[in-house]
Amino acid sequence: KQLVGQLGCWTYFQSIKSPANEKFISDFQAWLAKSDVPGIVKEGRVTCSPMVLSYVGVYLWKAAVEKAGTFEVDKVIAELEKGISFDGPGGTVTSQKNHHVTKNVFIGETKADGQFKILKSYDNVYGEPFLKGTFKAK
């Protein structure tokens, strides 16, 4: 209750309306329902940005391995540095030469149900690992 109306800025909110997000949420809920992990809380669980970042990371790695045709680290990294895209729950994510990703960013307002009303989105935000302007995209 105390957070209603507060703003948040993330690369993912569960309230994003897209087929990829609907599938992600559905798959997560299905996993929860059948999970027998000791102590796991099943009620009221939501998806979040760290979950999605881990999820897309695995799929970007998978695509890089497939393009490289090997699990050899240097060859997989070389493919990631070329730019591989994956359509994830928060939109398209693309690997960059600097080992970060380009992804969408959302500003949302907390609602009473614990979700976020998305107020503004920024598409394809370039991942800048250093102080602004010290890395130049090629």
* Residue of 34, 107, 99, 91 whose CA lies nearest to 73: 99
pTM, full prediction: 0.84
pLDDT at 1: 83
- Within a domain: residue 71? yes
- Within a domain: residue 136? no
Domain span at residue 103 reads 6-35+44-126
- Within a domain: residue 131? no
CATH code: domain of residue 19: 3.40.50.2300
Q: How far, in Å, CA of 106 to CA of 125, rounded?
A: 10
- Within a domain: residue 138? no
- Within a domain: residue 134? no
- Within a domain: residue 135? no
pLDDT at 127: 85
| Predicted confidence (pLDDT) per residue in 75-95, tens digit | 999 999 999 999 999 999 999
- Within a domain: residue 1? no
pLDDT for residue 12 is more than 60: yes
pLDDT at 132: 63
Alpha-carbon dihedral angle through residues 58, 63, 68, 69, given to the nearest 10 degrees: 100
Q: How far, in Å, CA of 115 to CA of 13, rounded?
A: 8
How many domains does one find in the chain? Answer: 1
- Within a domain: residue 114? yes
